[in-house]
Structure 1
Amino acid sequence: MRIRVYSNRKPTSRKVTQELLEKLRKAGFILDKKTPDVVITIGGDGTLLSAFHAYESQLDTVRFIGVHTGHLGFYTDWRDYEIDELVRSLKEEKQNSVSYPLLDVCLTYTNNMPDRHFLALNEATIKNVDRTMVANVFIKDELFECYRGDGLSVSTPTGSTAYSKSLGGAVVHPRVNTLQLNEIASLNNRVYRSLGSPMIIAPDEWIRLDMKKRETYSLHVDNLSLTNSNIKHVKFCLSEKRIHFALYRHTHFWRRVNNAFIGTSKESSERL
């Protein structure tokens, strides 16, 4: 098995990384940065996002494992004090994995530039840099509304616990193949109207935004940010690619949600 250990630069993470690398070498694993079978991230969700984008061209062959060294890690199943147990699990050579949907973002330009595609694990958000954003929103090529507001965000099921939740979106189980569209501070009055509610998009449908010409837009795709003034369309759909997490240990999704946002303990639950 070829393994890549991918870490952030925090001292705690670096210490855990060195410990893990030493134990992997002693256990006989091959350390391979170019074509790993498993990528182990040391840090938090941001570290795993960076690793995902670093290996997004190899998603068909790479499985991810997250070890978190901070206070909260939604994509991480292991703690920094469980390194020995993780190495023992790797030696069992289980090939099982769980896969989650990804978002495909396609930009079409007004100046005949080639289309650009991006993959997102969490979400993509677009805003007008200088003023209220105006965009025609199409669902599967049918005009749904003319949106006016601060911007729009499209999230994956796993991304539903990130920025989407802050916008009032629903928490969606990652086995549900869908996208979620959220409005950001939309204008709703007797002149301008939009739905004003999160929308769950069917897996065989897509979202297309027709952007107002000669405006400057800021697009965020996970931790990538770019600014452009010649965007004609933005299309969001489920990608044919998926991210795979190794099943040496995988925390139940709703337990992750509880741990992250509620933290209910047996002692605090009310006897009914």
Structure 2
Amino acid sequence: MRIAIYGNDNKSSSKVATELSELINKSEVLQIDELNPEVVISVGGDGTLLSAFHHYDDLTEKVRFVGIHTGHLGFYTDWRDNEVEKLVESLENDNGQSVSYPLLDIQVEYSDQGLPDKMVALNESTVKKLFGTMVAKVYIKDRLFENFRGDGLCISTPTGSTAYNKSVGGAIISPKFNAIQVAEMASINNRVFRTIGSPVIIPPTETITVVPKVSLHNVLTCDQLLVMDRPIKSITYGISQRRIYFAKYQHTHFWERVNNSFIGDNLND
């Protein structure tokens, strides 16, 4: 089996990556292959795994991901830094088992005649304005839904619903639903301006299109990626035909992840 190791520059992550690499090199059935891996092992936290996902974006349908966390508990990382030997044993006995999560397709059109951008997000995309209020028309399946005014909008996947989306008041959605969620960031609601004022969940048969008032101060994010200083004409979001796959050796159930991340040991209080 071909393995790629993707880590950050943190000292503890580098130590784990080195240990992992040494064990893989000693294995008779595993080998390091950074260019054409079958399994990508992320060593760090959720940010590192997001970076690994985008680094191997063109191989999404061919690889499975495994996350080792070396700091605080990560939402996507099933393995601890003291379980490297156990992980290598699991890799050696792999039978192709996996679990998959939905991804978010993003298509961006610009007003400067530049070619459209196509991106994919694991967590979320946001569109906001650096200075002042963002004004945008929001369409659901090509029908005008609302005229938005506020700081911005967050469009997330089900797994991404636990990230930025949750911090701006969005709902947590199980990844068993192929849905996307739109959450408002500090929307303006008064006698003159009015938005829905609550998260909106969209099925896979529909898309969301955001048409912001053209401004060079509009900023678009795709997970950790950033688009700025381009006049954005429109952004269209929908559930991707692609999915991300995780190797299911000791994969943590989604709601257990939610509990571990946000509730912890308080259940018995």
Would you call these one fold, judging by a TM-score over 0.5?
yes
- CA offset at residue 112 of structure 1? 2.1
Structure 2 match to 1:243: 244
Inter-partner Cα distance in structure 2 for 1:178 and 1:228: 30
Unmatched segments (≥5 aa) in structure 1: none
Superposed, 1:125-164 pairs within 5 Å as 125-164=126-165
Which residue identity does 1:72 align to in structure 2? L
Inter-partner Cα distance in structure 2 for 1:128 and 1:25: 48
Structure 2 match to 1:85: 86
How many residues align? The count is 268
Inter-partner Cα distance in structure 1 for 2:264 and 2:118: 38
CA contact (8 A) 1:179 1:238 kept: yes
Which residue identity does 1:69 align to in structure 2? T
Structure 2 match to 1:175: 176
- CA offset at residue 264 of structure 1? 2.7
Inter-partner Cα distance in structure 2 for 1:264 and 1:171: 20
Matched residue of 2:115: which SS?
A: coil
Structure 2 match to 1:269: 268
Farther-moved stretch of structure 1 (212-221 vs 169-178): 212-221
Unmatched segments (≥5 aa) in structure 2: none
CA contact (8 A) 2:110 2:230 kept: no
Superposed CA offset, 1:43-96 (max 9, x none): 000000000000010011110000001012000000000111111111112201
> 4+ runs of 1 displaced by more than 3 Å?
none
- CA offset at residue 200 of structure 1? 0.5
Query: Are 1:8 and 2:8 counterparts?
Result: yes
CA contact (8 A) 2:138 2:144 kept: yes
CA contact (8 A) 1:94 1:248 kept: no
Inter-partner Cα distance in structure 2 for 1:75 and 1:146: 35
Matched residue of 1:250: which SS?
A: coil
- CA offset at residue 215 of structure 1? 4.6
Matched residue of 1:228: which SS?
A: coil
Structure 2 match to 1:42: 43
Inter-partner Cα distance in structure 2 for 1:70 and 1:190: 48
Farther-moved stretch of structure 1 (174-183 vs 102-111): 102-111
TM-score (norm 1): 0.96
Farther-moved stretch of structure 1 (216-225 vs 187-196): 216-225
Superposed, 1:1-272 pairs within 5 Å as 1-28=1-28, 29-264=30-265, 269=268
**Identity across the alignment (%):** 52
- CA offset at residue 213 of structure 1? 2.7
- CA offset at residue 209 of structure 1? 1.0
TM-score (norm 2): 0.97
Superposed CA offset, 1:139-163 (max 9, x none): 0000000000000110000100000
Which residue identity does 2:211 align to in structure 1? D
Superposed CA offset, 1:160-218 (max 9, x none): 00000001111111121000001000000000000010000011100001121345211
Which residue identity does 1:245 align to in structure 2? F
Matched residue of 1:260: which SS?
A: helix
- CA offset at residue 269 of structure 1? 1.8
Superposed CA offset, 1:117-155 (max 9, x none): 111100000111222001010000000000000001100
CA contact (8 A) 2:216 2:228 kept: no
Inter-partner Cα distance in structure 2 for 1:122 and 1:160: 7
Which residue identity does 2:144 align to in structure 1? L
Which residue identity does 1:58 align to in structure 2? L
Alpha carbon RMSD of aligned pairs, Å?
Answer: 1.1
- CA offset at residue 229 of structure 1? 3.8
CA contact (8 A) 1:103 1:236 kept: yes
Matched residue of 2:150: which SS?
A: strand
Inter-partner Cα distance in structure 1 for 2:69 and 2:129: 35
Which residue identity does 2:77 align to in structure 1? T
